[in-house]
């Protein structure tokens, strides 16, 4: 059962960067209605990079662990770099093989984050 490695379960049970940012952050929300995963993300920027990032919501182990590890990874990263992240990068970040049935779960946090980034980039 490769999906439920210890680190995935740890991120699921105690996710990093869980919560919200009150001041002047950009937010977005996404969900997978058929399974009930739902994630909201707040981001603040500094000089074209991510200064702070927090998420909240509910979902399966894969989507929550993905949000937790992604938010850790992207702090300080340039927006343009994030805009180019894809499934294979996510696979690397999570350190597990993501089966086709679970791609939607794993991708949800990245999709939400990209929405914020693209809006931010296009407003420049």
Min dist CB 3 to another protein, Å, is 6
Min dist CB 92 to another protein, Å, is 21
- x/- mask, another protein, residues 13-32, rule CB under 8 A, reads x-------------------
Handedness of CA 95, 99, 105, 107 (dihedral sign): positive
Beta strands in the chain (DSSP E): 26-32, 37-46, 49-58
In angstroms, the CA 50 to CA 53 distance is 7
Residues 60-99 close enough to bind another protein by CB under 8 A: 60-62
Which H helix or E strand runs over 12? helix 6-13
For another protein, the binding residue among 10, 19, 29, 58 (CB under 8 A) is: 58
DSSP string, 104-121: HHHHHHHHHHHHHHHHHH
For another protein, the binding residue among 7, 9, 92, 95 (CB under 8 A) is: 9
- For residue 33, give both structure tokens: 């209605």
For another protein, the binding residue among 74, 98, 105, 107 (CB under 8 A) is: 105
Determine the interface stretch with another protein among 40-48, 56-64, 74-82, 106-114 (rule: CB under 8 A): 56-64
């Amino acid at each position: 059962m490769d999906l439920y490695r210890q680190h995935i379960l740890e991120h699921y049970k105690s996710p990093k960067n869980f919560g919200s940012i009150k001041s002047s952050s950009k937010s977005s929300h996404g969900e997978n209605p058929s399974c009930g995963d739902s994630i909201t993300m707040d981001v603040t920027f500094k000089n074209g990079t991510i200064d702070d990032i927090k998420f909240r919501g509910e979902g399966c182990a894969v989507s929550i662990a993905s949000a937790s590890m992604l938010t850790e990874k992207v702090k300080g990263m340039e927006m343009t770099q994030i805009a180019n992240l894809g499934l294979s990068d996510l696979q690397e970040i999570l350190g597990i093989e993501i089966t086709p049935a679970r791609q939607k779960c794993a991708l949800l946090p990245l999709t939400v984050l990209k929405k914020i980034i693209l809006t931010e980039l296009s407003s420049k």
